[in-house]
Amino acid sequence: MPKMMPIVRKRIYSYLLAAGLTAGAALSGAILIAPQEGLVLGTYKDAVGIVTSCYGHTGPELVLGQTFTQAQCDEQLAKDVAKHNKEMMRYVKVPLNLYQEAALTSFSYNVGIGNFSSSSLLKELNKGNYKAACTKLLDWVYAKKQKLKGLVTRRAQEMKVCMGEVDIQAELNK
């Protein structure tokens, strides 16, 4: 799992829970999204040239040269995770456990709800083929036709969480 100081993970998790996120979404933000995205208190171009800030936030309001506080980034993370979790759950027609919800929230956060909603991963999931759906996470490692090492790592972690092979609640204390 991505390394982040336990106190930071717990702080992010507590903040996300206080913002009204489900436990699965909050764990996704604290354990999968924030460590993978990293925190940048300003804007930058991501690996495919999209202007990004904080914990991987994108949007038309961003321009290069902006700066943000830790509090602004935490608030944006909560809003983004809540949005992606809610939109993702609109397309999911089968029950998810805490681990599946966390992994798929992280995945939809990273690839976008449009890609999630049209994916073969979602088709397998909605057929009740949980293992096949979790395994399909490993297909999503390309950006602009380039295989990215960071995506390979992220998808492997998401798959392990999705399959229940990682105790994400215990990750808060590592």
Catalytic residue among 46, 139, 165, 167: 46
Residue 103 covered by a domain: yes
By percentage, how much of the chain surpasses pLDDT 70? 97
Question: Does residue 101 have an active-site annotation?
Answer: no
Question: Does residue 87 have an active-site annotation?
Answer: no
Residue 1 covered by a domain: no
Would you state the pLDDT for residue 89? 97
Query: Average per-residue pLDDT in the chain?
Result: 93
Catalytic residue among 37, 80, 158, 171: 37
Domain that holds residue 164: 6-171
Residue 47 covered by a domain: yes
Would you state the pLDDT for residue 47? 84
pLDDT > 90? residue 74: yes
The number of domains in the chain is 1
Write out the two tokens for 170.
């215990």
Residue 75 covered by a domain: yes
Q: 62-68: long-range contacts (C-beta < 8 A, 24 or more apart)?
A: 66/42, 67/41, 67/42, 68/41, 68/42
Confidence of residue 167 (pLDDT cuts 50, 70, 90): confident
Q: Could you tell me the CATH number of the domain that includes residue 166?
A: 1.10.530.40
With 0.85 as the threshold, say if the pTM is over it.
yes
Residue 164 covered by a domain: yes
Q: Compute CA distances 26 → 31, 34, 126, 152, whole Å.
A: 8, 11, 23, 23
